[in-house]
Structure 1
Amino acid sequence: MTPSSVRISNDRHSTRRGIIITGGSKGLGYAVAKRLARQRDALALCGRDTGRLRSAAAELRHESCAEVHTEALDVVDGDLEGFIERAANALGRVDGLVLCAGGASGGGLAESTSRDWQRTYELNVGHPARALRTCLPHLSASRGSALLISSISGWKPAPPAQYAAAKAAQLSLAASWARELGPQGVRVNALSPGSMCIPGGTWDRLRLNDPAAYETFQREFPGKELPGPDEIADVACFLLSEEAAAISGTNIPADRAQNAPTAFGY
């Protein structure tokens, strides 16, 4: 499909933006979805848990009357390209692509396997490449943007090394793709959150189960407080907006000047 073969719909879809979010059913991905839904953007979300997706969509529709399309999908092993095309068709247009699905497999170097490294690479580097390649005609037609959710681990690395390396690669991807796709009117940026206190997440569990360790970890932040996902979502939504039209090919840290990205130092 070429950019010239994609047309922006002139029906009801043309009155608001269409945004696709991978990993959009929980954590930061869901926080971004909530923020966009409040702006009356139409959303397409994928995630691995059908029940969680159903719950997220119901909450978004209830709170913001948002148009939400969902699909249960593993972005590494599933039909990611098919999801992107089905989402574009459902939305009528695609103005933004948020690549939030990510993570790591395996532990330290001695314990990790080649499969752990491959899986981590495919999740954080392969999935954004596949998604953006498929979505490119739609983003070119709308002069939209793509946002890679990276991490401060991309330049303040800590174990596991496969995660740090994959996140560092995302920063390079954003810079390279911005230059490659800019002539087609597409912006590409990376957003690197620090450690977030997400309800039920790693740091929230540490806060509840080991308050002393959590208090020590807070010292990695000059303000002694971890950011929440809603704060990071505000930055993500700005980078997707017309107000950020001059920003492309860069990495935006959102970490409250965090030092080490773990509770155990470097």
Structure 2
Amino acid sequence: MNDTDHADRTGDVGDTVDLGGTGDTPGAAGTVGGTGGHRPSARRATAGMTGTTGTTGTTTGTTGMSRTAAEDSVQESRAPESAGPAVIVTGGSRGLGRETTLRLAAQGCDLAVCGRDAASLEAVAEEVRARYGRTPHTARLDVLDESALTAFVRESAARLGRVDGLVTVAGGARGTDLRDTEPSDWDLTCRLNVTHPAIALREAADHLAGTGGSAVLVSSVSGWKPAPPAQYAAAKAAQIHMASSLARELGPRGVRVNCVSPGSMLIEGKGWARLRDEDPRGYREFEKEFPGGRLVDPRDVAEVIAFLLSDRARAVNGANVPVDGGQNAPGAYGY
């Protein structure tokens, strides 16, 4: 699965509940992450959520993506540039969300970032400050709290002065197999992956129309290459379809909406990294699901997100862009 942060399974996308975001749940019992896959499990778990908000500062940044130490040192020696495009990122402090935040900061974006964990938010904000000389606006909140999410988007627009882009990374799921799930598991999973991006885009749409901006919704390989749990796969598939529908609705106003579907990502501390450390043989078998023999690097997903937000992608609208390395099965145990 992915590795976001809002599931009872731990995925690997960005920042939500304990759910996971993009690409990283091999099979922790009862949890689901973002995009990637997992092994079936029979035990249910519950996710804890918070709805508190907090803020910190605004942004500034430089250009270029840091992929090597040499590149990093060059970038960090540059003086801050004038205000660049303003982008709002939900779930932007961990996993894929963190890499997306850093990638956008590297190319000079002013940022507003929310997440559930205060320490992770401060850590990514400090990294942006140290490397790029800018301070992102941050808010600690649970994206399932509609009023907190709405307030975050509105306040971010006010602080940044404009909105050129929106990235919804937070995602995940709750519940396991069909017989062990309850209606509330389906409801929470849908609210996290479908309702949260819809609310964020609803609040940002007028601002994006004013700048000719765009939105990128982070879905999952599980949204179009089915694997259990069904509630996660269904929600991610709905997210992909929703992006296409909203692209048609908002296109006449000059707003593009696209989806990115990451494959299973290797993120230290997350599910696939744990599988690698705890079950090396199982991990090597899972690597065979990838023609290139390795899981997805979240930095590569962040590159695609940054591209889709840019004017270079002005002809791309309503698309679902897989960034999965040609991955076959979304889970560690085949279809």
2:104 maps to 1:36: yes
- Measured after TM superposition, the shift of residue 66 of structure 1 is 2.4
Instruction: Report which of the two has the higher share of helix.
Output: 1
* 1:54 pairs with one of 100, 122, 139: 122
Amino acid at match of 2:305: A
Partner residue of 1:246? 315
* 1:105 pairs with one of 174, 179, 185: 174
Q: Separation in 1 of the partners of 2:135 and 2:124? A: 12
- Measured after TM superposition, the shift of residue 67 of structure 1 is 3.1
Partner residue of 1:18? 86
Q: Give the gaps of 5 or more residues in structure 2.
A: 1-80
Q: Separation in 2 of the partners of 1:19 and 1:56? A: 15
Deviations 1:56-115 (A, max 9, x none): 111111111123010001000251100000111111111000010000001110111111
Q: Separation in 1 of the partners of 2:132 and 2:97? A: 17
Between the two proteins, the alignment pairs up a number of residues equal to 255
Deviations 1:157-214 (A, max 9, x none): 1010000000000110111000100011000000000000011111111111110000
Q: Separation in 2 of the partners of 1:49 and 1:225? A: 29
Q: Answer whether contact 1:14 1:92 (CA < 8 A) is retained.
A: no
Partner residue of 2:329? 260
Q: Separation in 1 of the partners of 2:274 and 2:109? A: 32
Amino acid at match of 1:264: Y
The share of aligned pairs that are identical, in percent, is: 54
Partner residue of 2:70? none
Amino acid at match of 1:135: A
Q: Separation in 1 of the partners of 2:181 and 2:129? A: 42
- Measured after TM superposition, the shift of residue 51 of structure 1 is 1.3
2:239 maps to 1:170: yes
Partner residue of 1:130? 199
TM-score, normalised via structure 1 length: 0.94
Q: Separation in 2 of the partners of 1:15 and 1:131? A: 23
Give runs of aligned pairs for residues 172-211 of structure 1, distance below 5 A.
172-211=241-280
Q: Separation in 1 of the partners of 2:311 and 2:331? A: 34
Q: Separation in 2 of the partners of 1:15 and 1:110? A: 52
- Measured after TM superposition, the shift of residue 16 of structure 1 is 1.1
Amino acid at match of 1:148: L
- Measured after TM superposition, the shift of residue 261 of structure 1 is 0.5
Q: Answer whether contact 1:41 1:67 (CA < 8 A) is retained.
A: no
Corresponding residue SS for 1:45:
strand
Deviations 1:191-249 (A, max 9, x none): 00000001111111111111000000000001111111101111110001010000000
Superposed structure 1 runs of 4+ greater than 2 Å apart: none
2:169 maps to 1:70: no
Q: Give the gaps of 5 or more residues in structure 1.
A: 1-12
What do you get for the CA RMSD once the two structures are aligned? Answer: 1.4
Q: Separation in 2 of the partners of 1:91 and 1:211? A: 46
- Measured after TM superposition, the shift of residue 14 of structure 1 is 7.9
TM-score, normalised via structure 2 length: 0.75
